[in-house]
A and B are shown apart, each in its own frame.
Chain A
Amino acid sequence: MIPVSQTPAPSANPEIQPYFEALREGKLLIKTCTHCRQPHFYPRAGCPFCFSDATEWLESRGTGAIYAYSVLRSAKDLPVLAYVTLDEGPTLMTSIVDSPASALSNGAAVRLSVRPGADGTLAPMFTLI
């Protein structure tokens, strides 16, 4: 038998702990590289572009635009799966909340709204501006 280890909560992972702490204050942190200046998401200790380890946290302004979305019809009460391109550059998977699916469109402006996700953890979701 192979021992099965318990998966620790993501918020206990030191590499991304500040991200979860910021969410508790309603803020979204992304990472940027002090070497190549490129912001990235999801956050890593090392820069995925230049492989430097000189990354630092950057608070997103929390504004962006819907890149793509899809409504799961069998789960109409759940938030809509979407991809949002932040004004800082990175695109992330997210959910659109407090907005009827019929009002969504590619390119629509959105603003950050931190909510509990399907797995119970706080997550950066967005609402139409």
Chain B
Amino acid sequence: MSIRGKACIAGIYEHPTRKADGLSLAQIHAEVARGALADAGLSKDDVDGYFCAGDAPGLGPMNMVEYLNLKPRHVDSTDTGGSAYVLAVGHAAAAIALGKCRVALITLAGRPRAAGQHQVRPAPGATADAPFEAPFNPVIATMYGAAANRHMHEFGTTSEQLAWIKVAASHHAQHNPHAMLRNVVTVEDVLNSPMVADPLHRLDCCVISDGGGAIVLVAPEIAGSLKRPVVSIRGAGEAIKHSAGGRIDLTYSGAVWSGPRAFEEAGVRPSDIQYASIYDSFTITVLMTLEDLGFCAKGQGGRFVADGNLIAGHGKLPFNTDGGGLCNNHPGNRGGMTKVLEAVRQLRGEAHPAVQVPNCALALAHGTGGSLGTRHGSATVILERQ
């Protein structure tokens, strides 16, 4: 059994705020839910499936279901960090394909800036791994820095090549009025920005932002009755990569597993993809993911992204045309939701005209949640315009 063609994205919404002073976390969840349902032309009472992740306040989905006053017959709060919302698209499609629900709502909200949480650290807890990591002060930037360090060592990847990823994102962000960083930057700008965690410069790192987003998935017969363009789920894949008992290899991500699963279910190849939303917590995340998804050979990511190859209207693979996490936003330090939203805009033909991929019919969205340096969830979805 496959989810291919069995569920459609009918509604999306991205919260315009980037600093949510005066808004509660639950309130942002409700605002994005309201926005996505309005976009779909559906009402709260149509929702019979609810999906959220670790950003939602409360125990799993229960407190948000109460706050939103929903009455779902199917819930799922699988938390794989920032990739959870890409993963939830696959899970929601599976639930719809099985008849467990017909209108699935996925919400994300975060307000780390308003809350004054400018340092992103791994969540503490009494996990089995924590005693073997906490003594070494592993902040996110150094773990990703170590992954970049090893990738450079093995494959000769350069800081200039990584910088091209930020350059491409900035070219796109100039057209997004909501983006936090709208100035177009050059490779030299990236290299001249302060070093944060070798070899990653400040401009290799994503923004920290508040905000949120929501997605409404529905059964195909419902999608056909709505007024919005129909975007169907063609394939989905997920994986968890971890330290594997000490057999650590920092040069690849879980996309090496989630990608092929999604492509197989979709029955397409990387060369068929016209637009890609790639999780961009750091430039190295993008470079490694592009290799792992098969857009280029392992170790060739640096050459692939160089010279503007990711810039819409210029390169072969337009990516993150909203400006991505590197320039636009990264709500609650969880960027998977916005990856799906921009892919849907591209497929609907509703991206900014300056970055819209002509006749975009097949797109990919990929999330990487957790840390490349320890464990992370990878989720890939392939979406198609009907």
Contacts and interface: CB of A to CB of B under 8 A. Distances in A.
Contacts of A112: none
B87 interface: no
Contacts of B146: 68-70, 81-83
Given A93-B132, A93-B133, A117-B134, A72 B139 contact: yes
Contact of B137 (A81, A83, A92, A106): A81
Contacts of A10: 130-131
A117 B195 contact: no
Contact of A70 (B145, B194, B374): B145
A71 B247 contact: no
A94 interface: yes
A44 B245 CA distance: 9
B135 A121 contact: yes
Interface string B161-190: 000000000000000000000000000000
Interface stretch (B15-23, B67-75, B147-155, B337-345): B147-155
Interface of B: 59, 125-126, 128-139, 141-150, 153, 194-200, 243-248, 250, 373-374
Contacts of A73: 194-198
Given A2-B59, A39-B246, A73-B196, A92 B132 contact: yes
A33 B250 CA distance: 25
B142 A81 contact: yes
A44 B145 CA distance: 28
A117 B136 contact: yes
Contacts of A122: 135
For chain A, give the interface size range: 35 or more
A81 to B, nearest CB: 4
Given A40-B245, A41-B246, A42-B128, A70 B143 contact: yes
A117 B150 contact: no
Nearest to B124: A7
A75 B195 CA distance: 12
B200 to A, nearest CB: 8
Contacts of A8: 126
Contacts of A79: 136-137
Given A41-B246, A73-B197, A106 B132 contact: no
Contacts of A68: 146-147, 149-150, 153, 250
A62 interface: no
B153 A118 contact: no
Interface string A100-127: 0100001000000000111101110100
Contacts of A106: 149-150, 153
B338 to A, nearest CB: 26
- Among all A-B residue pairs, the 6 with the closest Cβ atoms: A117-B135, A90-B246, A70-B145, A123-B135, A10-B131, A40-B245
A72 B126 contact: no
Nearest to B137: A118
Contacts of B150: 67-68, 83, 106
A91 B138 contact: no
10 contacts: A16-B131, A70-B146, A70-B149, A72-B197, A79-B136, A81-B137, A91-B248, A92-B132, A93-B138, A116-B135
B376 to A, nearest CB: 14
A71 B245 contact: no
A82 B337 CA distance: 31
A36 to B, nearest CB: 11
A30 to B, nearest CB: 8
B153 A75 contact: no
Nearest to B59: A2
A72 B131 contact: no
Nearest to A81: B142
A99 B195 CA distance: 20
A43 to B, nearest CB: 8
Contacts of B139: 72, 81
B61 to A, nearest CB: 15
Interface in A1-16: 2, 7-8, 10, 13, 15-16
B250 A89 contact: no
A112 to B, nearest CB: 14
A15 B51 CA distance: 35
A123 B246 contact: no
Contact of A78 (B134, B137, B244): B137
A30 B247 CA distance: 13
Nearest to B148: A70
Nearest to A107: B153
